[in-house]
Amino acid sequence: MSELLQFVFSGITVGAVYALVALGFTIIFNASGVVNFAQGEFVMLGGMITVFAHAAGLPLPLAALIAIVVTAAVGVALNRLAIEPARGAPVVSLIIITIGASIFIRGASQLIFDKQIHSFPAFSGDDPIHVLGATILMQSLWVIGGALAVFAGLWLFFTKTLLGRAVLATSNNRMAAQLVGINTKFVMTLSFALSAAIGAFGGVLVTPITLTAYDVGLALALKGFAAAMLGGMGNPKGALVGGLLLGLLEALTAGYLSSQYKDAAAFVIILAVLFFMPQGLFGRKSTDRV
């Protein structure tokens, strides 16, 4: 029993990060229809920039803030320099552009930072808390709490603020949003900034547990993507549930089946979802206008 609880704890911690990555995917996908394979690089940048800013002598909260702001700027640059100029290009081209961006960001980080594995101290010490025979790290609570706070904040943003509703309107119908006077270009910029900032925030939260390096982004992007598919592409609620479910499945696979095939869980899920319910758990069936 305590063993199962232990797996659940670790699964939810990792799952919270997947949920944040999936949420980032969702925001960009809704605003622009682009599947952003560079999403994982945002998480990497969040962790790496914090590491290096902290090592340069800045206090941790300031270092984390800088990391999130810089990553958001990278997100905006990605939109302005690579996605906007290719507007109207076929899906194939957009996918290749974001994969190119992810490889580019990885290559640049390898040069700017280094190839070592890094970490920084946990926010509130390394002492684990004992719950019913299992243990959970304080940092895990930070990760889970942080993810929940992001989801709550975004929910408020999208439902209660004019700007949030403008973003929703743009994702529903770009042309119609433009006609009622919404600055859709700004909405795109905002979506990329928001999505990058959320990714970086996830990176800041999880680095003390999982450590970070220049090449962690790709795996995270793929897992986050699996989570978004599982929940239903384009649905924030789906991103949360999909992320947590994927984290749990991975932890249980590692615990009870095979730790070697832990990472396979995500891809088996992708295939199973596509085979049996391509709209995901919360997705709607889409129809096409001709």
Contact positions toward another protein, by CB under 8 A?
35, 82, 85-86, 89-97, 99-108, 110-111, 218, 222, 225-226, 229, 260-261, 263-264, 266-268, 270-271, 274-275, 278, 288, 290
Nearest to 50 by CA among 120, 146, 108, 144: 120
Let me know how long the chain is: 290
Minimum distance between the CB of residue 82 and another protein, rounded to whole angstroms? 5
- Residue closer to another protein, measured from CB, 84 or 164: 84
- Residue closer to another protein, measured from CB, 179 or 276: 276
Chain-centre distance for alpha carbon 73:
16
DSSP 105-135: HHHHHHHHS-SS-B----TT-SPEEEETTEE
Nearest to 243 by CA among 7, 6, 16: 16
Strands (E) across 2-138 are located at 128-131, 134-137
Minimum distance between the CB of residue 229 and another protein, rounded to whole angstroms? 7
Minimum distance between the CB of residue 255 and another protein, rounded to whole angstroms? 17
Minimum distance between the CB of residue 98 and another protein, rounded to whole angstroms? 9
Six token digits for residue 139: 């940092």
- Residue closer to another protein, measured from CB, 57 or 260: 260
- Residue closer to another protein, measured from CB, 55 or 271: 271
Minimum distance between the CB of residue 74 and another protein, rounded to whole angstroms? 13
- Residue closer to another protein, measured from CB, 6 or 36: 36
d(CA 39, CA 11): 21
